[in-house]
Amino acid sequence: MICYENNPLTNGKDFHKKCYDDLLIKERDYNTKLSDIRNKINNIERDQRKLFTRIKAYFGNVGQFKIEKEKNGLKQTAVTLNEDLLNINNQLKSLYDYWPERPPDWEERRKQFINQKPFCEECL
């Protein structure tokens, strides 16, 4: 992909608006997918608790095995999505480290800094 718009960072490198927007879209999509998967897992677990006795009565342990297999598959997908999302977040953070103005994650960084150092140097 060719990007034409270069935006300077404080480390002398450039970022492309299109590439940055693509990362943000990916981050949003991954968060949505993870939320959907977590909801599916919660629904499966809720239904599993409700219907466990009926399933066991009709299907024995086979029904239980199918439910566990589906739930474990969803959990593995969630782990993979979490890893990919962490990679995206790391890419965004490394970009924000050299953002020319206050980065989009400024409030998060500010809160983290205040938690680490609640007093100014004069108050110590």
Structure confidence by residue, pLDDT tens digits, 78-107: 999 999 999 999 999 988 888 888 888 888
- Least confident range of 47-56, 65-74, 93-102: 47-56
Q: Residue 68: which domain range?
A: 28-34+44-85
For residue 2, name the pLDDT band (cuts at 50, 70, 90): low
Residue 61 has pLDDT above 60, yes or no: no
Count of domains for the chain: 1
Residues 6+ apart with CB under 8 A from 72: none
Query: What does DSSP assign to residue 46?
Result: H
Residues 6+ apart with CB under 8 A from 5: 16, 17, 18
**CA distance linking residue 83 with residue 2, whole number of Å:** 27
pTM over 0.75: no
**CA distance linking residue 108 with residue 46, whole number of Å:** 34
Please give the helix or strand (H or E) that residue 14 lies within, else none: strand 14-16
